[in-house]
Chains A and B, each alone.
Chain A
């Protein structure tokens, strides 16, 4: 077990390093000059000497590899550099944005798991064919609805027509509800889709017939026998969905005018504020890696056959790596 945990940790660090490195070189290749951004748009009156001085101050005049090693060293000490537009340290910008985002993201994830899981169980439990077909058609619909539109519809109904929840801001619990629901929709839909498919397959397993032969009720068969076995693929997917959840905050926070990581990302990308973008990439990768580490650690608790599944766990980790880079 200890070896297993150690192996997963080494992989996690590897993913973080890869995400940082790839984003560093990709952002460097962009056709933008951080120094002229730094000096503002009306920097035409700046002399080449001044430009060179600033360039030297930020270290942009050194060879790329030296810059990379230097920055990586700083990152290891917790120094993510300074924003080129506001000159604030990136770490404090991200630190301020993290809180509100974590609130809606966690609430969204919780809602997604509860509602998505609940829908999957309900859909496979109902006897009426027509009702089952209706319930099973909901997840694809949920995936298909665009987040910004859904957010606007929620605002229209629950803030303007029925003033239940505040339309904007990050004050109090009520302000979390609508953004969290918006975030939960696509994530919950994917969970529901995966879990219901997995449940349908699991319910055909001979051990489910054994449970029925014991006299177990449909609810018991579902919750005690099928669900835990069926949850394994959905659990893996949930780890991967956390990345999607972070991406979703960009739209959600914009629609609900909330401060947070998503808004920070949107602003930084618009301003071509490379240090901030890189910081966000690193944080995103970190969240992603932690979520999947958690999944990997929970997995053996749910499935005692882990010993046999080591190899498939290896392929899962590889998929995780690819996805982390895609998110970055």
Chain B
């Protein structure tokens, strides 16, 4: 092996806070060779992002490097004076940040933001900087003429390409990419990562790729370093780490990753051959008036959508942002009124139900939201949260509600002691269990799950999916499961509906649709699932 481009040696980072110090990075050592891609994988709080940012000392004001070395290009970046560090940032080491929607200056044209790197490091004069910025934008896969546009005029994927241009315009020897695609749709993610691969391969740039997604790491990295609780617990090639993991934590992580376990299925076997649909929608259409500034007219968010969900089964609705999947579901559960079309609940037309009838319908259909941090009232105890629907409908007395709360919390496998606690004392996975318990309180026929595991780490994600499957088997409840992630839907849904631009492009039994996709868009979605490349090379 050639001498490393980056050599991190026994790095320690500590955050000081009101409740004392948090030792976030505990002795990390790591090498990146020229032209090599090293993925730093871990769950939230593992210290992976902190490690990456510590390399260029772009840490939060409360964090500091307490000991260790970061050797790059003959200097120790951990101790080098600020002025010399600034000469390395942007020039020697480029950084692609996590969230492209907020990482560009909103009041400056993007071309200028790319050119700024060259101006800072004195690599070009004003005019040639502009030209080279345009070249870098073109290399990042953006069309001509974007240089004079402002960030808000570009999509999320395009903004991330601008940030890639910013990071690469000065031809750095090392690129640090911190979750560069987690805020993007899966097909856009694939395009961006492909592009990053091509660019860095052609220039021999070393890459430190931070990701929570083992699939992404497996597809893109030469070596994977798995981080847990501030330490690197395992390092190796994708084949070594995924094929023959040595560490228990790594094993658990692989086991939980939906994209790496295509054979694992949680789908509850259905008892009856065919049953009547619990929910059916026919030719749903929803139009929104466009703002006058955008040219007026109407926007057809949902365009003739029909599907049926059989009792006791799970229907997955898959699509990328803007596909109309969330609007469709809001129409189906009557949280919004359709422009036209029919909604049948248990064969009964509820499209125009209002007043008491609508309230009765609310009792039969419950919702679980994506973000368990925002969907629970922080001031209420768990007991009050899960019994809220009971109180709203005046079900039972105080004692029976208390008993029901204990039962519900037990259903979702939380300890009884949870009842007295508040959401802030619970982890993300525990909170989502509370949200599920609340949804089940009124024994609904249908539970709508809107991206229920997207905000959770993979291991927690797997546990919540298992819980949902078990509850379906025990209670016979039906799920409408919205997700952008085909890999998750594959594990849990009996049937799947694929949506694009407000239309259903494909629907049918999950096994059939995923094994023999008919529509090109479904094939594209399937191909974009990270980890599919690696799977071929990994022994089962």
Contact = CB atoms under 8 A, between A and B. Distances in A.
B387 to A, nearest CB: 39
Contact of A209 (B91, B97, B117): B97
Interface stretch (A102-110, A271-279, A305-313): A305-313
A229 interface: yes
Interface in B51-84: 56, 58
Contacts of B104: 207, 210
A215 B90 contact: yes
A217 interface: yes
B247 interface: no
Nearest to A203: B61
A308 B103 CA distance: 19
Contacts of A228: 107
Contact of B105 (A213, A220, A229): A229
Nearest to A304: B150
A216 B86 contact: yes
B163 interface: yes
A14 B102 CA distance: 38
Interface residues on A, range: 20 to 34
Contact of B152 (A206, A220, A308): A308
B90 A213 contact: yes
Contacts of A217: 86
Contacts of B89: 212-215
B87, B91, B116, B152: residue with the most chain A Cβ atoms closer than 10 Å: B116
Contacts of B166: 210, 214
B293 interface: yes
Given A216-B120, A304-B150, A308-B152, A211 B105 contact: yes
Contacts of B88: 215
A207 B102 contact: yes
Interface string A285-317: 000000000000000001111011010000000
A196 to B, nearest CB: 16
Find the residue from B94, B98, B106, B163 having the highest chain A CB count within 10 A: B106
Interface size class, chain B: 20 to 34
Given A207-B102, A225-B105, A303-B107, A213 B56 contact: yes
A242 to B, nearest CB: 24
A206 B86 contact: no
Interface string A191-212: 0000000000000011101111
A209 B106 contact: no
B251 interface: no
Contacts of A229: 105-107
A81 to B, nearest CB: 44
Interface string B432-473: 000000000000000000000000000000000000000000
Given A209-B58, A304-B150, A305-B150, A214 B120 contact: yes
B121 interface: yes
A262 B400 CA distance: 73
B102 A205 contact: yes
Contacts of B219: none
B107 A213 contact: no
A229 B106 CA distance: 8
B310 interface: no
A123 B104 CA distance: 25
B239 to A, nearest CB: 33
Contact of B99 (A206, A215, A304): A206
Contact of B58 (A212, A302, A304): A212
B436 to A, nearest CB: 32
B423 to A, nearest CB: 25
Nearest to A208: B105
A279 to B, nearest CB: 41
B106 A207 contact: yes
B289 to A, nearest CB: 15
B215 to A, nearest CB: 25
Nearest to A229: B107
A112 B515 CA distance: 70
B95 interface: yes
Given A210-B163, A304-B150, A304-B152, A215 B102 contact: no
Interface in B272-303: 293
7 contacts: A206-B98, A213-B97, A215-B86, A215-B120, A217-B86, A307-B293, A308-B152
Interface of B: 56, 58, 86-91, 94-95, 97-99, 102-108, 113, 116-117, 120-121, 150, 152, 163, 166-167, 293
Given A206-B99, A206-B102, 15 more contacts: A205-B102, A207-B105, A210-B105, A213-B56, A213-B58, A213-B90, A213-B97, A214-B89, A214-B120, A215-B88, A215-B90, A215-B91, A216-B90, A220-B120, A228-B107
Interface of A: 205-207, 209-217, 220, 224-225, 228-229, 302-305, 307-308, 310
